Structure 1
């Protein structure tokens, strides 16, 4: 069945542009011109993903994201007018899955939406062999239920955060470069900055540290990331 995308932007021209582009990609769309309407539609229509503008009057996209996150884990792609907002939109409190800076190419938005949807629906055969779970020390990943835990405590993650952690956990002794992580998430040649990956890693560390997992992810300077410890000991 077609996936439904909720487009939230106070500019009707942008909404129509995205409705056309996402429709050509085979996706159903619904639209909202402000934050309150977006929350009402998200509750009634249960979209598969939200494309959310940050700068809207009355209720901005950041507040919409906070309220969406308090009620569920629907994937969120932010539309941002400034590249330097990345740390906020991908931050611990907000936990967006990705972002696109205005002015944007409709093709890029569609590509990023499709990449997030693929991650949402993905099942990784190499990590599903043991009943759909991965265990590494006190880390537990339910790859079928998309749930993560540390030492018995649930750790809520976004789709992208879970996908990155599943990548690292699939080969716990391997050091993954940022490019390798990007390839696992999006496929080769997809344009994502190292800063984006670093922000997601920082979020993962923060969330697991609150549950006691202070050494969850190790950094290898100049190389990339792996589960701690990289030696597997």
Structure 2
């Protein structure tokens, strides 16, 4: 069965290019140019996922998200062209499942879509099975060997520290909530205070940060969770 995606954006050239790319990846794509049209389309066609731009004429994407969440739990990814983090943070707070900033690579967007759909269906959100290593700058994680190297030097990690770092690295550049960490690193069956996440992050920072008291790699997103910062700008093709 084909997965349907509703793209809500008021830029025709962007929407058309995205439609071509997503259809090439096997998705069925519908579009809406403003919030009211999006709400009507959701009621009529019940898409499997909504890709919702923050900047829309009249009704903002954040307001559209709030309206959607009154009646539906459809997986939803916010899209923002703004540099400020606040758009993405507010989007998550009002009910978005994830966010992506323009400009972005089509491959990254498709990966985000599939990850959100997996989580919505109750499947673990994990890196693709063929991933054998993860790295950002001077930090390199060898999944097969279960080894961490920082500036080329081997660093010993406890099992949960390794799993936590692997999850953060696989989501580098995006906010990872405490709920997501608890579900994907500790497991849905884990019962305990989420402060255990903070403790593990503190231990991890002590091993990979140049100055653990002023972390530059694993940053705290207040009220939400953490983000592993990318160390170099990415080449965008969408």
* TM-score under structure 1 length normalisation: 0.59
**1:187-198 equivalence runs, <5 A:** 190-193=170-173, 196-197=175-176
Aligned to 2:178: 201
Look at both structures and tell me which one has the larger radius of gyration over its CA atoms.
2
CA distance in 1, matches of 2:181, 2:109: 25
1:176 Cα shift?
7.1
| Deviation at residue 53 of structure 1 after TM alignment | 0.2
User: What's the counterpart of residue 119 of structure 1?
Assistant: 119
Q: Which residue of 2 aligns with 1:181?
A: 167
Match of 1:8 in 2: 8
Contact 1:77 1:99 in 2 (8 A): yes
* 2:53 maps to 1:53: yes
Root mean square deviation, CA, Å? 2.9
State the shift of 1:192 in Å. 3.0
Partner of 1:78: 78
1:88 matched residue in structure 2 = 90
Aligned to 1:222: 203
Q: Secondary structure at the match of 1:78?
A: strand
Whole-Å Cα distance in 2 between the matches of residues 204 and 88 of structure 1? 19
**Partner deviation per Cα, 1:89-135 (whole Å, 9 max, x = no partner):** 222xx1211111112222221221122122223446xxxxxxxxxxx
Quote the Cα distance in structure 2 between the aligned partners of 1:190 and 1:68. 29
Judged with a 3 Å threshold, the aligned counterparts in structure 2 of structure 1 residues 87 and 111 are, in CA distance, closer, same or farther, namely same
Instruction: Report 1:129-168 matches (<5 A).
Output: none
Cα distance in 2, alignment partners of residues 95 and 86 from structure 1? 11
What is the distance in 1 between the residues matched to 2:180 and 2:90?
A: 11
Show structure 1 runs of 5+ residues with no match: 125-172, 183-188, 206-212, 225-233
* Residues matched between the structures, number: 158
CA distance in 2, matches of 1:116, 1:66: 18
Q: Distance in 2 between matches of 1:6 and 1:118?
A: 17
Give SS of 1:223's match: helix
C-alpha distance in structure 2 between counterparts of 1:118 and 1:52, whole Å: 19
Which residue pairs with 2:108 in the alignment? 108
Cα contact 1:21–1:107 (8 A) shared by 2 = no
**Structure 2 residue ranges without an equivalent (≥5):** 125-158, 183-190, 206-238
The answer to whether the 8 Å contact 2:77/2:97 transfers is yes
Indicate if the aligned counterparts of 2:4 and 2:30 stay in contact, CA closer than 8 A: yes
